[in-house]
Every structure is written in C-alpha cells, then in structure tokens.
Amino acid sequence: MSVRGLRKQYGTFTAVDGIGFEIARGETFALLGPNGAGKSTTVEILEGYRDRDAGEVSVLGVDPQHATLAWKARIGIVLQQTGESGTVTVREQLSHFASLYPHPRDIDEVIAAVGLEAKAKTRIKALSGGQRRRVDVALGVIGRPELLFLDEPTTGFDPEARHQFWELIRSLSREGTTIVLTTHYLDEAAQLSDRAAVIAGGRMLDIGPVDTIGSEQARVPLVRWRDDSGLHEERTHEPARLVAQLVAAQGEPVELEVIRPSLEDVYLELVGSAEAEEATAGAAGAAAEVTA
Amino acid sequence: MSAQTDARAAAGRSGTAFGPLRALRLGAARIVYETRLYFRAGDTVFFTFLFPVVLLGIFSVAFDGLGNVGTNADGSGGISQAAYYLPGMIAAGILLSGVQNLGVDIAVERGDGTLKRLAGTPLPVLSYFIGKMGQVLVTSAAQVVLLLLLARFAFGVQLPADPQHWITFLWVYLLGIVTAAVLGIAISRLPRSGKSASAVIIPPLLILQFISGVYLSFALMPEWLQNIASVFPLKWIAQGMRAALLPESFASAEQGGDWNLVGVATALGIWLVAGLILCRVTFRWIRKDS
C-alpha cells in the first residue's frame, strides 16, 4: 500500500493535509492521533469510502476510488461504529457474510477465534456492546482478507477481552494478513504493530517502528527521586551510573524510579508540541495580519 | 497463502468469478436473508403485513350493518362490505409492502451502518436490490393470498370465476408491486436519519390511502381531490383492483364512468420508469462526503 500527498477538505476545513506513507505486505501498521486528527478520514479513503481531493493512493495495487468487487473481496473492514438492529443470530450473520466472499474462513473457527461459541445462536441485538464488537471483528475477517482495516477495534472491551483480541490479531498477522490499525490506545499499538504513524491536525508528525517514534530527546530514560530539597528528574543515557552516583553521594534515594518513556509519553509529547506549534503559528499569522 | 493469493488475483483479473451469475446467486441468497429479517421485525410485520388484513376484518364487521353496497332499488343484489373493501385493501397492501416497507427499511439501513458495512464487502449492488425486490414480492404475495383467503372464507366474498378478471388482477398486481418497490427505494433517500424514517415516510402514505379510494369510496371525493389523487399511483392500483374484483356494474362509479385499464397501465408505467431513473440517479451505498 502506498499513499502520497493525500489531501481531503470538507468545505474550508482541511481534514487531511499532505499525508504519505507506505505499508509493506504482512506488516501491522498503526495510525495514532487524537480525536479529529484525520485518522478516520485517511482510513476511509484507503477503504474506498471517501474520495480524496489530492494525492496518490494505491491499496493492493488498486486505487480505492475505483474499487472493484474483486478488490473488495481481498480486504476486510472493521468500522468504528455499527448500530445494526441485529435480528439475526451471530451464526446466521457470519454465514451470510461468508457467502459473499470467494474464499471465506470456516464459520465455526471464526466464531471460536472471537470467543463467541456460547453466543453463536443468540441474536446480535441481545449481545453486550463488547460481544457485538467481536461480531464486527468476525465479520471483518470472515472473507479471509489479505488486508484488514481495524478502526478503534477494542473500544468498550474489558481488559481480558482486549488481550484475547490482541492474540487473535497476532494470529492473523502470523498468517500473513496485512493489518492497518487506528487506535487511541497506545498500549494496543505498542503490543500489535510493527510500525506506527502519529497524525495530528491532518499532518503526519512522525512515522517509524514503534520503539523509535518521537524525538531522540523524548526517548532518553528518566531518573526520578526525592531528597530533602524535593522531587528531582534527570534525563540521561546512563541511568544506572546516575543511580550509582546518587547512592554513593547520599545513600538509598527515596522514591527512586528509572523510567524508559513509553509510547504514550512519547506520543503525548509529540502531539503536545505540535499543538503548541500550531498555536504559535496561528498567533504569528494573526499578528502578521494585523501588521499588514 | 501465496498460491491461493495468486489464484484469487487471477480470478479477479479474468472477471469470471465476479460476473452476473454470481450477482444472481447472491441475489437469491439475499432474498432468503431479507425475508427472514422482515418477519423477525415485529413492527413491520404488523404495520405493513397485517395492517390491511386487520383493516379488512374491522371494516367488514363494522359496516356489515349498513347492508350491501350497490343494491338495486328494491334492496336486492349488491355486494357485501367485505367484497367492496377487498380491492382497496389489496391496493393498500401493495403500497405498504412496497413503498412503506422499502422506504423505511433502506433509510434505517443507511442510518445504522448496514449499508456502509455492505459497501465494504464484495456484494454487488444488483444483488442487494434483487434481495429487496424478492423480499417485497414474497411478503406481498403472502399478504395478498392472506387477504383473498380471509375475504373468501371468513366473509364469504364471491371471487371472480373467469380467467379474464384474474389476468387483470395479475398484471395490475405485478405492475403495482414492482412500481411500489422501486418508489420505495427512491424515497428511502428522503429521511435524514434512520430514526426519522418512519415519521417522514408513513404520514404522506397514510394521506394518500385516504384520498385514493382505499378506506373511503373514491366517488365520495370532490373532483379536485380526485384529480390530485390521480397524479399518484395508488389511485390507479386501487382502480385496477376494483376492475379485477368488483362486478361490471361498479364501473360507472369510476372517474369517466369506466375502469380505464389503459389509464391504469399508463400511469403505473410512467411511475415505474420515473422511479427507476430516480433510483439510478440517487442511490448510493453511503453518503460519501457527509
């Protein structure tokens, strides 16, 4: 999949402003960003749901704006929200959707994979929110897609269901499925994805393997401790040496922590500094206008 | 994995795997699926399927005391209230099963994400519509049979014995139900959300039923109201059904004094073509840039 110079405008609002990335076959790729960042718009363009205003997009070798049935048979989509009334049972719904695809997965295997064996004969409307979400995921994978889009897949899951879901996604990935995941759970991105892109305000802030995202500075480990003069924080590439120095100087430090910044910390810093920059740029623009 | 992928890609390239035969096969599967959904939705079963049946029962019983309709001066002859209302109820059933059922159904499916989900699958649009049309035909045919059986066996209505009337009945029914289904698909675009679908679609149809000679005798309407009703298809479906099921002597009560089956065919034909064009122009799986 390749995306170059993607732009999308709604009226005067630019939702996506020049995004570009490549995703290799078999990769799990996460799109991260705050609400309204342009993640969903980007994904919906890739899925063929929306037309773009500018840029080049190729998904499985096809421009999704001109999607064919054959192309749709090779992708699976788990949308962000679904609210179907659901008077069919889980099994009926899956077997109907399976019939739409040329090489569907085994229905019972999929039901088992999403952990709904006990609910197979239950009507979808009688399921809990989390169980319905698992039906959505099951419908997304029933057609044995080469490429799977997951838009906020685990919203509303309890922690156990989330871990089960991760296991399911890993097994799909092991089978060679390419996965594009949008999420605002950063642990989910860290758990599942090979690479991630961070989007805010329609622009891409960073892209790369999850453990290299963010500035070099943001990834430097942090040592935190308390002494008589209060709380101290120090960033250092050699935290052990610093701790050893602390011990040598003042004995066992109080509330000692050595923190390796998580994706979440890095992400918050990235998005935070982008927002600050935008505010500065906006203020500068306004000032320039006034001067003019 | 890769061998399979290659086979799949090849099938996609040659186009055979996604040809018209597949669209028909999936259309048939959709008919079964859609019909199952229809009968599981309690409110549609009542408000579109059973409604005309219940009304025929109520009208037949409530107006029974008024005696027969169209009697001779000496009080002999005429037909029972049930026989008199039967054509109108069949016409109402056609309108409800077609326009109301599909109009609300598709608007709700657009609102709740069903259409968006289907748009992401390799389901051809054609198969989707075959499913909807098939569901309408199956449920409406069952409804009409139920109405005829109720009229014949519960209320002793004398149904036509000659094939000529049944041929009229058949073509008016088929032309009526296909037109109604197509118009249902077309007006499903009107409601802004799935929640408002019933509120937007049902009231105008109810008014149409009152002015088109379904619940009230068409002859009772002032001429200007008859002319308004004549613009819409329901009046013509009801008139065609009266031509098929009522005695010849009732023709004189129609506008113009005869059954005017040519007018029935013309009016419905125009609505059918207009509806098809509207569907073609307006139907989208999703509102792309909302």
Q: Are residues A25 and A160 in the same domain?
A: yes
Residue B126 lies in a domain: yes
Q: Residue A265: is its pLDDT beyond 80?
A: no
Q: Which residue of A has its CA nearest to B124?
A: A69
DSSP secondary structure, chain B, as one string: -HHHHHHHHHHHHH-GGGSHHHHHHHHHHHHHHHHHHHHH-HHHIIIIIIHHHHHHHHHHHHTGGG--BS--TTS---B-HHHHHHHHHHHHHHHIIIIIHHHHHHHHHHHTTHHHHHHTTT--HHHHHHHHHHHHHHHHHHHHHHHHHIIIIIS------SHHHHHHHHHHHHHHHHHHHHHHHHHTTS-SSSTTHHHHHHHHHHHHHHHTTSSS-GGGS-HHHHHHHHHSHHHHHHHHHHHHHS-GGGGGGSGGGS--HHHHHHHHHHHHHHHHHHHHHH--SS-TT-
State pLDDT tens for residues B172-203: 999 999 999 999 999 998 888 888 888 899 99
- State the total domains in chain B: 1
| Interface residue A146 vs chain B (CB under 8 A) | yes
Q: Are residues A94 and A221 in the same domain?
A: no
Dihedral sign for Cα atoms in the order B263, B47, A82, A99: negative
State pLDDT tens for residues B30-55: 999 999 999 998 888 888 899 999 99
- The pLDDT value recorded for residue A97 is 95
Residue B110 lies in a domain: yes
Amino acid letter, residue B90: I
- State the total domains in chain A: 2
Q: Do A72 and B120 touch (CB under 8 A)?
A: yes
Q: What mean pLDDT do residues B240-262 have?
A: 90
Which of A65, A41, A30 lies closest to A203, judged by CA? A41
| Interface residue B113 vs chain A (CB under 8 A) | yes
Q: Do A69 and B108 touch (CB under 8 A)?
A: no
Q: What mean pLDDT do residues A89-116 have?
A: 93
User: What is the C-alpha to C-alpha distance for residues B99 and B285, in angstroms, rounded to an integer?
Assistant: 19
Q: Are residues A131 and A174 in the same domain?
A: yes
State pLDDT tens for residues A127-182: 988 888 889 999 999 999 999 999 888 877 778 878 888 888 999 999 999 999 99
Q: What mean pLDDT do residues A240-264 have?
A: 84
Q: Are residues A207 and A221 in the same domain?
A: no
Q: Do B121 and A51 touch (CB under 8 A)?
A: no
Q: Residue B244: is its pLDDT beyond 90?
A: yes
- The pLDDT value recorded for residue A34 is 81
The two beta strands, A254-259 and A230-235, are unpaired
CB proximity under 8 Å: A 247-286 to B = none
Residue B289 lies in a domain: no
Q: Which residue of A has its CA nearest to B38?
A: A87
Q: What mean pLDDT do residues A41-57 have?
A: 91
The two beta strands, A222-227 and A195-200, are unpaired
Q: Are residues A112 and A24 in the same domain?
A: yes
Residue B61 lies in a domain: yes
Q: Are residues A238 and A115 in the same domain?
A: no
CB A97 within 8 A of CB A139: yes
- Quickly tell me which residue has 């799990």 as its tokens: A28
- Quickly tell me which residue has 């019909």 as its tokens: B35
Q: What mean pLDDT do residues A176-193 have?
A: 88
Q: Are residues A186 and A261 in the same domain?
A: no
Contacts of B40 in chain A (CB under 8 A): 87-88
Domain boundary among A171, A191, A212: A212
Which of A224, A182, A203, A241 lies closest to A40, judged by CA? A182
* A32-41, A265-274, B146-155: segment of lowest average pLDDT: A265-274
Q: Residue B98: is its pLDDT beyond 60?
A: yes
User: What is the C-alpha to C-alpha distance for residues A53 and A263, in angstroms, rounded to an integer?
Assistant: 32
Q: What mean pLDDT do residues A20-45 have?
A: 89
Res. B235 pLDDT band, cuts 50 70 90 = very high
Residue B290 lies in a domain: no
Q: Tell me which residue in B17, B37, B122 faces A72 most closely, judged by beta carbons.
A: B122
The edge-to-edge listing of strands for the beta sheet with A147-151 is: A75-78, A147-151, A178-183, A28-32, A195-200, A203-209
Domain boundary among A158, A190, A212: A212
Residue with the larger pLDDT of the pair B113 and B24? B24
Residue B106 lies in a domain: yes
Which of B132, B94, B95 lies closest to B110, judged by CA? B132
Q: Are residues A108 and A236 in the same domain?
A: no
- The pLDDT value recorded for residue B148 is 96
**Could you give the angle at which helices B261-282 and B163-187 cross, rounded to 10 degrees?**
30
Q: Which domain covers residue A222, as residue numbers? A: 216-291
Q: Residue B212: is its pLDDT beyond 80?
A: yes
**Could you give the angle at which helices B51-62 and B81-95 cross, rounded to 10 degrees?**
160
Res. A286 pLDDT band, cuts 50 70 90 = low
Q: Residue B220: is its pLDDT beyond 90?
A: no
Residue B248 lies in a domain: yes
Q: Are residues A198 and A257 in the same domain?
A: no
Q: Residue A289: is its pLDDT beyond 60?
A: no
Q: Residue B209: is its pLDDT beyond 90?
A: yes
Domain boundary among A187, A212, A237: A212
Residue A96 host element (H or E): helix A90-98
Q: Are residues A124 and A223 in the same domain?
A: no
CA distance B1 to chain A (A): 8
Highest mean pLDDT among A241-245, B3-7, B107-111, B228-232: B228-232
Q: For all residues of chain B together, what is the average pLDDT?
A: 88
Exposed/middle/buried for residue A264 (C-beta within 10 Å: 0-12, 13-18, 19+): middle
User: What is the C-alpha to C-alpha distance for residues B201 and B196, in angstroms, rounded to an integer?
Assistant: 9
Q: Are residues A193 and A103 in the same domain?
A: yes
Contacts of A102 in chain B (CB under 8 A): 8, 11, 17, 122
| Interface residue A64 vs chain B (CB under 8 A) | no
Residue with the larger pLDDT of the pair A8 and B13? A8
CB A114 within 8 A of CB A137: yes
- The pLDDT value recorded for residue A90 is 94
- The pLDDT value recorded for residue A249 is 85
Q: What mean pLDDT do residues A8-25 have?
A: 88
Q: Are residues A199 and A255 in the same domain?
A: no
State pLDDT tens for residues B138-172: 999 999 999 999 999 999 899 998 999 999 999 99
CA distance A49 to chain B (A): 6
Residue B288 lies in a domain: no
